[in-house]
């Protein structure tokens, strides 16, 4: 046996050989701790390329399936002797020392030094020793579960130790059976292809789209498919095990090891701890599977990661389809479904963008023929309008609003109504198309028999939940403890520690957190959510005050150019301020939502994710759409009339809409917010922040004290992945797309170009996310999923709300309904001539309140006696001056009727689309039914073969039959989770 000191080599190999298994347990721990290991069939890194890259153990044969990292306390020069002596001390000698102390013997003398430094070192050493004890026990339990471990502390990453984990064949088989993983069998059947006209159409489509397909085998149509079945060790003959190394791919091996890590417990610390608790308490600093290899550089071996980088994560292939099959193979079903959904959403945006551009071009083509804007822009138009603000604003001519009126027609025309109906049906078709696509992927990925309820039952508690349960259990145990037990605690501490460690697992299983325990967290959640929503409303109100005050200030300017562009300047700057506030609050609200979810202490990761999604969606949705909702439905509605305006704080007059309506201002706000979020938040932040974090970690590692020649050496694969950003889940990715879906559908009546901008953003977003997953993030653990979960319900909710909001936008924000009412009820010739004059009322300037009239009443060069304002009110010479007229009630009734009709018609059409398009494609339904029949036939043939074999081996007298019967029965007994099965396999 070759021994190596920690100074000579920090690499150690832990394996389940017969020689080490025969040693006592404390001897193994001593060997592990001292770094004295038996290296069998090991190769130096220079002798094996695969080993050098860090993908294999030192023997170059066993693949690294998972990595655990931990902090290494490097000894300083002043305390090297003391720390080296402490490092050579093992767990067995420490227990002896504590035992001698309990027997009354004096402890061995401690090294002398400064008292403060000594106490500090003792506290740090105690925590380091405690973490090391937990790691030793946890790693020992992992070896008991059948995993093979290898440590590497002599790396080029100072202060970090790595534990490489390999799952041997029998562990993979055992866990695959426990996890009910469906694996392909030897049975192959032909996939039914379309025939006749359908086959010819598919052939033509495939030839036309051939350049759009990536150069990946998984994307090519397969005529045959392997019949899949849940893996069973008793039925291994059904599976093709000719190449055991590739039967379980790297993604599956990593998920199997992660399942073992979650199930393995460590009970040294009074309560049971899994890998999540050990990560949370700092015993381990990170846990991650390895990427398959490098993506660039010279002499890079072909691997799935490199293929994904070239055919998926490159901007040069933006026009190609995504290799979803390869994405699923490398990252798992959950991430594969996200990118499949994102790809389908982007494809569906193409027809929406085309129709939106056509609607916009229709507005551009008809703007010169629009009678209302022509009347406003007519040079002989001498209509005098009332001031837009008190004192500082003067009377003005209606023709000054010509530009706003013409621009409003681009987005407020009859085609807008058609486009709103189209987008509602588009959303329904998108939902149905996604359900069909999802079912097809479930069939192709062998998820048809997968039940998420089973996964939820196997979902392990989170570390924070286990910690809270442990604290609750300890408090209850302390309260129920007898005084005699408390009195003898110091003398019988060793016995109590052993008992609590043995009962660590039962301690947390007996207790659980109730609603009463979570009541303070629930109350905090409600208060904080209302407070954050109130902050959003307050900021929107502050921007309103900004617009009002800046408008009055600019009107007092001596520069005529400034006075003529007041509205445009105020609208644009206010929209930019709203955008900046939205971007800042988005980050704040994301952190607040996570903090509130942590306070609730959800039991499982799935529950944590769903609660976090709900809170984040509420806060970010309110943050993004509150300014838009104000402009669409409230601005210009709470103004009052000249002589009786509504004021805020008795000095700020509520702002009005331009004469062309608020739709143009709504379009400006919507476009700036949408484009700003996509360019700054979705793209700039996603590109810049991960690169900045990676640079900071790299700079910190460069500052460490290691030699220049070591710096030039190639890092191992697990070291390179350590510098990557940890995977934080798909919630941020889905959230930005859900908010974008809201921009595309909710106010599309005011901004028909929204689908086009979303399409351009998503073309970049797909490749940006792909590059981030492939090159910037650590490889996530593959997770199985049949659908996109709660996100589908959020999408349906947004689509339903979009119908109502668009109905109100068309009815109340635009002038579509007033134009129809005038044309069919009040127009003398059935045309739109006279519509502008019809929508304006008269006001006698002598009725202004004191101090509210303009400072320069002769600004237009003549004395103004009557001014006009946009509203339906009686003139000052009527019997009821300034009271709303009958035209107002007619228009209001028409608006409400349009909302009801539009909403019900569109909802009905959406339901018809939902009913006409089946959720499961017919060919997939037939293939699933065919698979079930083939599976039954396969097992019937197997049973017949067994019976024939037993009959052929059984003599006629029947004696041997009785001897074989127990064997047959024993084979039918399912395997349990015991370690005996794992070791005897």
Q: Each residue of 689-703: pLDDT tens digit?
A: 767 776 776 676 555
Question: In this predicted structure, which of 37-41, 137-141, 397-401, 488-492 has the lowest mean pLDDT?
Answer: 37-41
pLDDT digits (tens, 9 = 90+) for 174-219: 999 888 888 888 888 877 766 667 667 877 877 887 888 888 776 5
Average the pLDDT over 82-107 and give the result.
40
Span 395-419, mean pLDDT? 85
- The yes-or-no verdict on residue 901 having pLDDT over 50 is yes
215's CB contacts (< 8 A; 6+ apart) are 311
pLDDT at 352 over 70: yes
Q: What is the mean pLDDT of residues 940-947?
A: 76
**Which of 478-492, 634-648, 943-957 shows the lowest per-residue confidence on average (mean pLDDT)?**
478-492
Q: Once rounded to an integer, what is the mean pLDDT over residues 797-821?
A: 90
Note the pLDDT of residue 83.
Answer: 39
Q: Which of 99-103, 179-183, 435-439, 495-499 has the least mean pLDDT?
A: 99-103
DSSP E strands: which ranges in 912-957? none
End-to-end, the C-alpha distance of the chain in Å comes to 28
Query: How high is the pLDDT of residue 615?
Result: 92
Q: Give the DSSP H or E segment for 457.
A: helix 452-458
| Confidence bin at 712 (pLDDT 50/70/90) | very low
- Residue pair 434/791 in contact (Cβ under 8 Å)? The answer is no
**pLDDT score for 234:** 85
pLDDT for the residue numbered 354: 94
Give, for 647, the enclosing helix (H) or strand (E).
strand 647-648
Domain boundaries, the chain: 57-72+124-181+241-290, 321-461+514-699+728-817, 818-902
Indicate whether 878 pLDDT > 60: yes
Write the DSSP symbol of residue 400.
G
Query: pLDDT class for 527, splitting at 50, 70, 90?
Result: very high
- Report CA torsion sign: 759, 761, 765, 767: positive
Per-residue model confidence as pLDDT tens digits over 20-36: 333 333 333 343 333 33
pLDDT (0 to 100) of residue 449:
72
Lowest mean pLDDT of 95-99, 170-174, 611-615, name the range.
95-99
Greatest mean pLDDT among 39-43, 173-177, 546-550, 654-658 lies in: 173-177
Q: For residue 673, what are its two tokens?
A: 């917010």
Cα 839 to Cα 709: distance, rounded to the nearest angstrom: 82
Q: Check whether 759 has a pLDDT greater than 90.
A: yes
Instruction: Please state, in angstroms and as integers, the Cα–Cα distance from residue 125 to each residue in 75, 118, 121, 129, 873, following that order.
Output: 12, 10, 6, 6, 83
Range among 254-258, 398-402, 781-785, 917-921 with highest mean pLDDT value: 254-258
pLDDT band for position 359 (cuts 50, 70, 90): very high
The pLDDT, as a whole number, for residue 694 is 67
**Mean pLDDT lowest among 22-31, 153-162, 420-429:** 22-31
**Distance between CA atoms of 846 and 844, rounded to whole angstroms?**
5
DSSP per-residue codes, 485-530: HHHTTTTTHHHHHHHHHHTHHHHHHH----HHHHHHHHHHHHHHHH
Instruction: State how far the Cα of 538 lies from the Cα of 634, in Å rounded to an integer.
Output: 15
The confidence band for 270, taking pLDDT boundaries of 50, 70 and 90, is: low
Q: What is the pTM of this model?
A: 0.80
Q: Mean pLDDT, to the nearest integer, of 533-562?
A: 83
Residues facing 652 on adjacent strands:
648
Please, are residues 852 and 370 in contact by the beta-carbon 8 Å criterion? no
pLDDT value for 933: 86
Give the best-scoring range by mean pLDDT among 306-320, 442-456, 938-952: 306-320
Reported as a pLDDT band with limits 50, 70 and 90, residue 93 is very low
Q: How many Cβ atoms sit within 10 Å of the Cβ of residue 966? A: 9
Least confident of 158-162, 398-402, 889-893, 952-956: 952-956
**Which residue, among 908, 799, 734, 664, has the nearest Cα to 339 in the 3D structure?**
734
Q: pLDDT confidence of 481, banded at 50, 70, 90? A: low
The mean per-residue pLDDT over the stretch 640-654 comes to 81
What is the predicted pLDDT for the residue at 98?
40
Residue-level pLDDT at 125? 65
Q: What pLDDT sits at residue 327?
A: 92
pLDDT-derived band at 842 (thresholds 50, 70, 90) equals: very high
What pLDDT score does 661 carry?
67
Phi, psi of 266 (to 5 degrees): -125, 120
Whole-number pLDDT of residue 895: 92
Asked whether 619 and 528 are in contact (CB, 8 A), the reply is no
Say how far residue 575 (Cα) sits from the centre of its chain: 28
What is the predicted pLDDT for the residue at 348? 93
| pLDDT reading at 971 higher than 60 | no
Q: Indicate whether 91 pLDDT > 70.
A: no
In the chain, what percentage of residues exceed pLDDT 70? 76
Which two three-digit tokens encode residue 90? 């093992």
Helix boundaries (H) for 367-446: 371-377, 402-411, 414-444
User: For residue 289, is pLDDT > 90?
Assistant: yes
Rounded average pLDDT over 48-52: 48
Per the model's pLDDT, the better-predicted residue between 143 and 954 turns out to be 143
């Amino acid at each position: 046996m070759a021994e190596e000191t920690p100074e000579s080599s920090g690499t150690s190999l832990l394996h389940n050989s017969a020689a080490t298994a025969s040693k006592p347990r404390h001897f193994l721990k001593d060997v592990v701790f001292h770094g004295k290991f038996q290296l069998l069939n090991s190769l130096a890194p220079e002798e094996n390329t695969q080993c050098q890259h860090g993908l294999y153990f030192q023997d170059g044969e066993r693949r690294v399936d998972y990595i655990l990292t931990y902090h290494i306390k490097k000894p300083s020069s002043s305390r090297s002797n003391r720390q080296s002596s402490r490092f050579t001390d093992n767990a067995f000698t420490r227990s002896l020392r504590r035992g001698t102390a309990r027997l009354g013997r004096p402890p061995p003398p401690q090294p002398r030094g400064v008292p403060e430094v000594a106490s500090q070192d003792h506290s740090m050493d105690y925590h380091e020793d405690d973490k090391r004890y937990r790691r030793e026990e946890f790693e020992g339990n992992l070896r008991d579960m059948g995993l093979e471990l290898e440590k590497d502390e002599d790396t080029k990453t100072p202060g970090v130790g790595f534990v490489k984990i390999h799952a041997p064949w029998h562990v993979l088989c055992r866990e695959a059976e426990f996890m009910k993983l469906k694996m392909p069998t030897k049975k192959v059947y032909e996939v039914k292809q379309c025939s006749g006209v359908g086959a010819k159409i598919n052939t033509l489509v495939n030839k036309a789209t051939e350049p759009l397909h990536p150069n990946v085998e998984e994307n090519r149509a397969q005529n045959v498919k392997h019949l899949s079945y849940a893996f069973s060790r008793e039925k291994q003959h059904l599976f093709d095990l000719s190449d055991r190394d590739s039967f379980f791919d790297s993604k599956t091996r990593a998920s199997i090891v992660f399942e073992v890590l979650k199930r393995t417990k460590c009970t040294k610390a009074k309560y049971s701890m899994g890998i999540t608790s050990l990560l949370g308490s700092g015993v381990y600093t990170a846990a991650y599977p390895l990427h398959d290899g490098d993506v660039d550089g010279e002499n890079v071996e072909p691997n799935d990661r490199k293929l994904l980088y070239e055919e998926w994560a490159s901007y040069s292939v933006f026009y190609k389809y995504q290799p979803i099959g390869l994405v699923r193979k490398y990252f798992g079903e959950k991430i594969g479904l996200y990118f499949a959904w994102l790809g389908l959403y982007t494809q569906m945006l193409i027809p929406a963008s085309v129709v939106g551009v056509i609607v916009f071009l229709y507005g551009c083509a008809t703007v010169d023929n629009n009678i209302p804007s022509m009347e406003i822009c007519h040079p002989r138009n001498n209509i005098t309008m009332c001031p837009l603000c008190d004192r500082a604003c003067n009377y003005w001519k209606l023709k000054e609003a010509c530009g706003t009126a013409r621009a409003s027609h681009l987005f407020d025309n009859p085609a807008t109504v058609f486009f709103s109906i189209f987008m509602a049906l588009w959303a329904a078709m998108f939902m149905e198309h996604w359900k069909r696509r999802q079912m097809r992927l479930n069939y192709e990925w062998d998820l048809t028999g997968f039940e998420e309820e089973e996964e939820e039952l196997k979902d392990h508690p989170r570390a924070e939940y286990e910690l809270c349960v442990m604290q609750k259990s300890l408090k209850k145990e302390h309260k129920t403890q007898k005084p005699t037990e408390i009195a003898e605690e110091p003398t019988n501490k060793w016995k109590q520690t052993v008992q609590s460690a043995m009962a660590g697992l039962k301690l947390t299983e007996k207790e659980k957190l109730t609603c009463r325990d979570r009541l303070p967290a629930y109350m905090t959640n409600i208060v904080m959510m209302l407070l954050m929503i109130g902050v959003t409303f307050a900021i929107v109100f502050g921007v309103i005050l900004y617009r009002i005050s800046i408008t009055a200030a600019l009107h007092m300017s001596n520069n005529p150019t400034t006075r003529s562009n007041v509205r445009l300047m105020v609208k644009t700057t206010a929209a930019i301020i709203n955008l900046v506030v939205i971007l800042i609050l988005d980050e704040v609200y994301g952190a607040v939502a996570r903090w509130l979810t942590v306070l609730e202490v959800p039991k499982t990761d799935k529950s944590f994710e769903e609660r976090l999604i709900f809170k984040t969606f509420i806060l970010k949705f309110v943050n993004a759409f509150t300014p838009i909702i104000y402009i669409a439905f409230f601005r210009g509605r709470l103004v009052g009339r000249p002589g009786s305006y509504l004021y805020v704080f008795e000095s700020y007059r509520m702002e009005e809409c331009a004469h062309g309506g608020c739709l143009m201002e709504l379009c400006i706000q919507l476009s700036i917010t949408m484009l700003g979020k996509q360019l700054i938040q979705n793209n700039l932040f996603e590109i810049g922040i991960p690169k900045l974090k990676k640079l900071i970690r790299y700079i910190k590692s460069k500052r460490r004290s290691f030699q220049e020649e070591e710096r030039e050496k190639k890092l191992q694969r697990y070291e390179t992945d350590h510098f990557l950003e940890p995977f934080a889940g798909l919630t941020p990715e889905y959230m930005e797309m859900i908010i974008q879906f809201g921009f595309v559908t909710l106010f599309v009546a005011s901004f028909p170009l929204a689908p086009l901008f979303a399409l351009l953003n998503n073309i970049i977003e797909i490749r940006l996310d792909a590059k981030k997953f492939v090159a910037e993030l650590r490889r996530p653990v593959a997770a199985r999923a049949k659908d996109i979960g709660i996100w589908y319900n959020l999408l349906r909710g947004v689509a339903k709300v979009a119908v109502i909001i668009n109905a109100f936008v068309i009815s109340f924000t635009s002038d579509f309904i007033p134009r129809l009412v005038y044309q069919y009820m009040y127009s003398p010739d059935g045309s739109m001539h006279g519509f502008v004059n019809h929508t304006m009322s008269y006001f006698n300037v002598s009725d202004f309140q004191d101090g509210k009239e303009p400072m320069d009443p002769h600004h237009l060069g003549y004395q103004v006696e009557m001014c006009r304002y946009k509203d339906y009110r009686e003139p000052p010479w009527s019997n009821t001056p300034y009271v709303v007229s009958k035209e107002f009630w007619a228009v209001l009734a028409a608006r409400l009727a349009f909302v009801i009709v539009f909403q019900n018609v569109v909802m009905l059409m959406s339901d018809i689309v939902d009913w006409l398009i089946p959720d499961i494609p017919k060919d997939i339904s037939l293939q699933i039914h065919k698979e079930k029949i083939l599976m039954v036939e396969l097992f019937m043939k197997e049973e017949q073969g067994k019976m024939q074999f037993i009959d052929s081996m059984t003599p006629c007298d029947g004696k041997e039959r009785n001897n074989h019967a127990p064997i047959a029965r024993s084979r039918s007994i399912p395997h349990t989770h015991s370690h005996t099965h794992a070791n005897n396999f």
